[in-house]
Amino acid sequence: MITAFLGPRGTFSEDAAISFAGAESELIAFNSFPALTSAVETGLATQALLPIENSIEGSISTTLDLLIHETPLKIANEVVVPVRHFLITPPGATLADITEVTSHPQPFGQCRRFLERVMPKADQVAALSTAAAVEEVVTSGDNRRAAIGTKRAAELYGGQIIAHDIQDIRSNFTRFVVLRNEDSEPTGNDKTSISFVLNVNAPGSLLESLEPFAESKIELTKVESRPTKEWLGEYYFLLDFQGHRTDPVVVDALDRLSQVARVQVFGSYPRFDFVALVSEFMDASAPTARIL
């Protein structure tokens, strides 16, 4: 089993790949979302992990567009990982030494309160990725520089973690989907992801399309829309709901939906135990950022 993930090594994507496939499994890093799907389509990899949703930032549009427009691959599983940010320096550095912090631009926004309160005078320098920032800082050996990155990146490049969980919001999680040539067999605790385009854009059409799920008591866990990229005002509607596509009640609901819309099933797969992850993460992590 070969797992493709969005590189470089030391990113949250690698964390997700290790969490799902195991540290001893064969992992291959690729530098773009389309490269991940192409790797599976051409046999370079058995499966690919792509981020699809963040609890703070929302859906990852690149992944959704690939599923809608470009790849025949199916969602065969999902995994959720907590987004934890660490302040990493060369070995021997102290907080008092630091005059510059580097990272991908996104962590700067996610760690704003920590940086303003603890390091208000430190310059902030953007990097291509959190992993690249950590590697550059550690290899420089400059104790005046620090990076915001993952625990995995610190381990890979020999960095020193001087503060952990410096993100402003502890309940920050990213959901990844596992794409394969086929989706998963029923487990009794499944989720299905689909998209559809209404045949007629008229008053009540969207309500009519959702009625089969309500009448069959199928719980929708996610509802959103994306432009079709063809005409202004035309949208794909995307649903995640509980149940497997082969469950009789789901088969009936999808049949009824197909009478009023063009339906694309992205796949059915086991539901990730998010409640257990949150409980474990909240117990294990500090209530606030902590200097070590």
Residue numbers annotated as active site: 174, 176
Q: Using the 8-state DSSP alphabet, how is residue 96 labeled? A: G
Alpha helices in 111-247 (DSSP H): 112-118, 130-140, 151-157, 205-215
Residues facing 87 on adjacent strands: 148, 163
Total residue length of the chain: 292
Give 3's contacts (C-beta < 8 A, 6+ positions apart).
17, 20, 21, 25, 26, 27, 28, 45, 46, 47, 48, 49
> Which tokens hold the place of 84?
């934890």
> Which tokens hold the place of 39?
């790797």
Angstrom distance (rounded) from CA 224 to CA 195: 9
CB 158 within 8 A of CB 238: no
What distance separates the 2 farthest-apart alpha carbons in the chain? 66
Indicate the Cα dihedral angle 253, 258, 263, 267, nearest 10°.
Answer: 30
Give 26's contacts (C-beta < 8 A, 6+ positions apart).
1, 2, 3
Only one residue has tokens 């950590």, namely 134
Residues facing 265 on adjacent strands: 194
Angstrom distance (rounded) from CA 243 to CA 251: 10
